[in-house]
């Protein structure tokens, strides 16, 4: 399904303006002299919300603050161009994920220039990129992170992720006169093995119950920005909405049916971290490729 939205920059605080407001979770304030702050009005799938963007050219960072909206949890995205890394922070679930910086992401200088340009023109084209990631283990050595990234998730666990090979979906919607020429490029690959934080793996689960059930979970995040091309002689500068969507997937095994006598004797599964009663209802059954058995896909 293609989601259409319109991005309009409604506020620009220049470097000589007042202070830039921060979220409560930030442990280090950016200097107002170094930060350009934008509020972006977005209409997506019939719902309106405001995305906030902070750009620091001196530190070479970009912060996107995105409220919850259908299919997406409230999240903050921090791009660090010095380290070529992106940190995704989910405030409600108190967890962070570390990504490689997307190669197509605009630099802070260009992002500021393009957002300022977006105030002056009507944007009719949208390019959405969906990427699926697998959890690749918890990060234990934070000393390799920049001060900005480390402070951003100082209070939360950080999990590294890896992109599933070929799992990229690109959707482009063009101006109305070319609406019938939307281009789509889709590549998919098996999800593979990625254990959810606190979840049981298959070997552990088989020691507890004869037929463990596989549960796969998915957590979504997205952010929007504007990308403008160079103007040509006699032609106005052309800008495009960019909508990046990330889905983080992991799986675990749970024991639904097991011998009650084993549980009474102390051999039962007990409480599994991350396996709450809500997991049992799920969002509906579905087959998930990976180890070859059937799983249920849920929201993380």
CB contact at 8 A, 245 and 222: yes
CA–CA distance, 79 with 83 (Å, rounded to integer): 9
Residue 133 structure tokens: 């990631």
Residues 76-111 have pLDDT tens digits of: 999 999 999 999 999 999 999 999 999 889 999 999
Which of 31-35, 119-123, 134-138, 163-167 has the highest average model confidence (pLDDT)?
134-138
Residue 151 structure tokens: 């402070």
CA–CA distance, 113 with 239 (Å, rounded to integer): 11
Residues 18-35 have pLDDT tens digits of: 222 233 333 344 444 578
CB atoms within 10 A of CB 292: 7
Residues 149-169 have pLDDT tens digits of: 999 999 999 999 998 765 555
End-to-end, the C-alpha distance of the chain in Å comes to: 21
Which of 23-37, 113-127, 209-223, 269-283 has the highest average model confidence (pLDDT)?
209-223
Q: What phi-psi label fits residue 131: left (phi over 0), alpha (psi between -120 and 50 degrees) or beta?
A: beta
CA–CA distance, 281 with 298 (Å, rounded to integer): 9
pLDDT band at residue 13 under the 50/70/90 scheme? very low
CA–CA distance, 138 with 38 (Å, rounded to integer): 33
CB atoms within 10 A of CB 10: 11
- Is the predicted pLDDT of residue 291 greater than 70, yes or no? no
CB contact at 8 A, 79 and 99: no
CA–CA distance, 63 with 225 (Å, rounded to integer): 11
- Is the predicted pLDDT of residue 1 greater than 60, yes or no? no
Q: Where would I find the H helices in the chain?
A: 108-118, 147-152, 202-206, 260-264
CA–CA distance, 251 with 195 (Å, rounded to integer): 5
Q: Kindly state the percentage of the chain with pLDDT values over 70.
A: 62
Strands (E), 124-258: 126-138, 158-173, 183-187, 213-228, 239-254
Residue 101: alpha-carbon gap to chain centroid: 12
CA–CA distance, 142 with 219 (Å, rounded to integer): 23
Phi, then psi, of 170 in degrees rounded to 5: -115, 125
Residue 245 structure tokens: 């969507």
CB contact at 8 A, 277 and 160: no
**β-strand pairing of 75-80 with 239-254:** unpaired
């Amino acid at each position: 399904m293609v989601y259409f939205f319109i991005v309009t920059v409604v506020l620009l605080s220049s470097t000589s303006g007042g202070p830039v407001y921060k979220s409560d979770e930030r442990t280090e304030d950016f200097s107002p002299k170094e930060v350009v702050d934008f509020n972006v009005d977005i209409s997506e799938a019939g719902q309106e919300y405001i995305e906030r963007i902070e750009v620091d050219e001196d530190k070479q960072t970009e912060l996107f603050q995105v409220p919850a909206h259908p299919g997406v949890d409230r999240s903050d995205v921090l791009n660090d161009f010095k380290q070529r890394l992106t940190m995704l922070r989910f405030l409600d679930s108190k967890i962070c994920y570390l990504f490689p910086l997307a190669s197509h992401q605009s630099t802070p200088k260009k992002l500021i220039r393009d957002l300022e340009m977006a105030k002056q023109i009507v944007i009719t084209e949208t390019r959405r990129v969906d990427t699926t990631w697998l959890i690749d283990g918890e990060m234990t050595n934070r000393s390799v992170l920049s001060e900005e990234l480390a402070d951003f998730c100082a209070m939360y666990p950080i999990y590294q992720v890896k992109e599933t090979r070929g799992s990229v979906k690109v959707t482009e919607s063009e101006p109305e006169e070319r609406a019938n020429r939307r281009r789509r490029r889709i590549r998919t690959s098996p999800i593979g093995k990625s254990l959810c934080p606190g979840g049981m793996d298959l070997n552990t689960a088989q020691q507890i119950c004869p037929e463990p059930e596989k549960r796969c979970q998915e957590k979504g995040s997205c952010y929007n920005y504007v990308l403008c091309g160079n103007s040509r002689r006699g032609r106005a500068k052309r800008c495009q909405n960019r909508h990046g969507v990330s889905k983080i997937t992991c799986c675990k095994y749970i024991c639904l049916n097991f011998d009650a006598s084993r549980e009474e004797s102390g051999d039962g599964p007990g409480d599994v971290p991350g396996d709450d009663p809500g997991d049992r209802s799920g969002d509906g059954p579905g087959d998930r490729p990976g180890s070859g058995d059937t799983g249920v896909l849920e929201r993380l």
